[in-house]
């Protein structure tokens, strides 16, 4: 009788251990599948660009923005833009990438001719007075305009 009880208890415990083990395995498998499905949308886009060709690094790269008949803005490297090709001359007319607009300048109002101050033998400094603002045409004599070039 005692042996029969012990055997029955052993069977019950074995069944419990076996069933809990199987349940653990099934649960773990389901969790793993769930994780895989959740990660799919995230992983997909990050893997695609690595397979895509890298950005062009030569002037022959594709034109991005045609800004004028003689001008193409080309990405030569990830952070470098070609505004004028080799062999071309003249001013460039780049398209600004800044979305904000700038107010048109005010018209020029020229003041009376300014006096010239003579100082010794050196070429005299010239003082000119003009109202602020410039014409929309942007004449080079505008009071609010200057020019940068190699020192001269």
Partner 1 sequence: MITTIRFRAMGCQVEIKLETPAGGETILSQMPARFDALEDRLSRFRPHSELMRLNARAGEWVRVSDVLFDNLRQAKHMARLTEGLFNPLVLPALVAHGYDRSFEQMTSVAGSASQPVTDWHSIELDRDTNRVRIPAGSAIDLGGIAKGWSAQHIAHELAEEGPCLVNIGGDIAVCGAPEGLPAWEIEIADPDGDGSLVTLWLRDSTIVTSGIDYRRWTTSDHRPRHHIIHPFSGEPAETDVRTVTIIHPHAPTAEAYAKAVLLKGSEAGLQWLNTRWHAAGLVVRQDGAVLATTHLMSYFQERIPS
Q: Which is nearer to partner 1, 25 or 63 (CB)?
A: 63
Q: Are 58 and 82 in contact (CB under 8 A)?
A: no
Please report how close the Cβ of residue 135 comes to partner 1 at its closest, in angstroms: 11
Q: Which is nearer to partner 1, 34 or 64 (CB)?
A: 64
Please report how close the Cβ of residue 142 comes to partner 1 at its closest, in angstroms: 7
* Binds partner 1 by CB under 8 A, chosen from 44, 62, 69, 152: 152
Give yes or no for residue 133 binding partner 1 (CB under 8 A): yes
Q: Which is nearer to partner 1, 1 or 122 (CB)?
A: 122
Report the largest interatomic distance among the alpha carbons of the chain, rounded to a whole angstrom. 132
Give yes or no for residue 123 binding partner 1 (CB under 8 A): yes
Please give the residues from 58 up to 77 whose contact with partner 1 meets the rule CB under 8 A.
59, 76-77
Q: Are 71 and 92 in contact (CB under 8 A)?
A: yes
DSSP state of 89: -
d(CA 115, CA 6): 122
d(CA 105, CA 138): 9
Please report how close the Cβ of residue 149 comes to partner 1 at its closest, in angstroms: 3
28: helix, strand or coil: helix
d(CA 105, CA 55): 39
Give yes or no for residue 93 binding partner 1 (CB under 8 A): yes
Give yes or no for residue 32 binding partner 1 (CB under 8 A): no
2: tokens are 């005692």
d(CA 135, CA 27): 77
Q: Where does this chain bind partner 1 (CB under 8 A)?
A: 57, 59, 76-98, 101-106, 111, 114-115, 117, 119, 122-134, 136, 138, 140, 142-152
């Amino acid at each position: 009788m005692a042996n029969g009880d012990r055997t029955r208890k052993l069977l019950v415990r074995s069944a419990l251990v076996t069933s809990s083990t199987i349940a653990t395995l099934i649960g773990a498998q389901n969790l793993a599948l769930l994780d895989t499905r959740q990660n799919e949308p995230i992983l997909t886009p990050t893997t695609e660009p690595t397979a895509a060709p890298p950005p062009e690094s030569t002037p022959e790269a594709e034109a991005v923005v045609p800004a004028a008949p003689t001008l193409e803005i080309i990405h030569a490297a990830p952070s470098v833009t070609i505004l004028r090709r080799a062999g071309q001359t003249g001013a460039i007319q780049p398209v600004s990438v800044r979305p904000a607009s700038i107010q048109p300048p005010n018209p020029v109002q020229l003041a009376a001719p300014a006096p010239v101050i003579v100082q010794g033998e050196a070429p005299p400094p010239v003082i000119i007075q003009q109202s602020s603002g410039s014409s929309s045409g942007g004449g080079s004599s505008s009071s609010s305009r200057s020019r940068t070039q190699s020192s001269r």
